[in-house]
Amino acid sequence: MSIRKVSFAPGEYYHLYNRGNDKRKIFHDKQDYGYFMKLLYNSNSKDNFKLHYLQRSKGFSPFDLENNDQLVSIGAYVLMPNHFHILITQKTDSGISKFMQRLSTGYAMYYNQKYKRTGSLFEGKFKSEHLNTDRYLKYIFSYIHLNIIKIIDNLWKENGIRDLDGALKFLNEYQYSSYLDYLNNFARPVSKIVNKKDFPDYFPTAKMFQKEILIWLNYNKS
């Protein structure tokens, strides 16, 4: 049995990520992305998790359910076609492990049923990094949200941003991350996934958040 190198402690911050087996896609359409985002919110509870909450009629929104007894707080996230990233801190003992088990199991069950497959969906256990410095923690907000630029330019970090306006447009239109929740352009039901108050207030305004993003984009601009 493999032993996790990072042990999780309440009040500490962690970068979690995982991808599909053999780097295969785990999100194929809007329904897949949407279901995972629902799980990010609804599996984050000490209460017994019930998948049927997510399978009700179209008029039901899982984000309408109150979730006051959370296992973890999520500071940022992004979903990519074959992997995901989450910035997280746990609120209870073993909170991260319980949350990630529910999240991974719930999505694998959904995915395997929808696509009529069997076997492991993810590439082993989720990976984790302890964000043990203030500088590293602040950087992760940009790293996670800028991850999606790889969709339109896989080598942007190596070669620099060639189309800054196009990159910003893509960021502002991408629905499957917490980027829009930091811009505060409009209230989204999925904004309830993120709990900003449990993380340092690096970006008290949308303008400061945009400035930080631009710093990293321009740093990689050719």
- 135: in domain: yes
| Bridge partners (DSSP) listed for residue 15 | 87, 129
Buried b (16+ CB within 10 A) or exposed e, 154-163: eebeeeebee
- 8: in domain: no
- 192: in domain: yes
Q: How many domains would you assign to the chain?
A: 1
pLDDT in tens, 90-123: 999 999 999 999 999 999 999 999 999 998 999 9
Q: What is the DSSP code string of 5-43?
A: SSPP-TT--EEEEEEBGGG--S--SHHHHHHHHHHHHHT
pLDDT in tens, 15-64: 999 999 988 999 999 999 999 999 999 889 877 665 555 555 455 566 66
Q: What is the value of pTM for the model shown?
A: 0.90
* Residue 191 token pair: 């904004």
pLDDT in tens, 43-57: 898 776 655 555 554
Residue-number span of the structural domain to which 119 is assigned: 14-219
pLDDT higher than threshold 60 for residue 153:
yes
- The CATH number assigned to the domain holding 191 equals 3.30.70.1290
- 32: in domain: yes
Q: How long, in residues, is the chain?
A: 222
- 2: in domain: no
- 73: in domain: yes
Query: In the predicted model, what is the mean pLDDT of residues 174-198?
Result: 90
Q: Which residue has the tokens 């000490």?
A: 46
- Provide CB contacts within 8 A for 79, sequence distance 6+: 27, 33, 36, 37, 176, 177
- 5: in domain: no
- 1: in domain: no
- CB-neighbour burial class of residue 117 (10 A; exposed 0-12, middle 13-18, buried 19+): exposed
